[in-house]
Amino acid sequence: MFITETQIRVRYAETDQMNVVYYGNYAQYFEVARAESIRKLGFTYREMEALGVIMPVVEMQTKFLRPAHYDDLLNIKTILRELPVNYRISFDHEVYNQEKRLLTTGKVILYFVKMGTFEKSEMPGALRSVLTPYFQ
């Protein structure tokens, strides 16, 4: 299992007139958390795209348990429970506020595909190498 934590401060732009973070903005938080998760492996998603592999999201499930508010310092736990065996990768996310209350949970499934053709692809070898030790 590979787990990382990322902090995100809620922007004013991300609130709506319900005085809470708009439900659509969590997808961005999950994206940032995934990117930071990969960065902690000594790799970046940007580099992966430079290698011609992109990761479109194919599925997302989100539960909104409690609202986040402006200026909250969110802690996003990103969990990779299984090492991908093919072109599919699944991340779990848990969003906590500064009082350590669980606000939101998310599952995001992505594919590795080739840039341009969107043809399904394997996880890049460099990423697999740095991830494998977490699953032994």
Applying CB under 8 A, the residues found at the interface with its own copies are: 9, 11-13, 15-20, 22-28, 31-32, 35, 44-46, 49, 54, 56-65, 67, 70-71, 118
Cα–Cα distance for residue pair 95/50, rounded to 1 Å: 30
CB of 55 to its own copies, least distance (A): 9
Task: Write phi, then psi, for 8 (nearest 5 degrees).
Answer: -135, 130
Residue closer to its own copies (CB basis): 118 or 135: 118
Residue 132 is encoded by which pair of tokens? 């494998």
Known catalytic membership, residue 16: yes
CB 86 within 8 A of CB 110: no
Residue closer to its own copies (CB basis): 15 or 37: 15
Task: Write phi, then psi, for 99 (nearest 5 degrees).
Answer: -90, 10
CB of 136 to its own copies, least distance (A): 29
Task: Write phi, then psi, for 62 (nearest 5 degrees).
Answer: -135, 140
CB of 57 to its own copies, least distance (A): 4
The residue annotated as part of the active site, out of 16, 71, 72, 92, is: 16
Residue closer to its own copies (CB basis): 27 or 83: 27
Cα–Cα distance for residue pair 91/37, rounded to 1 Å: 10
By annotation, the residues acting in catalysis are 16
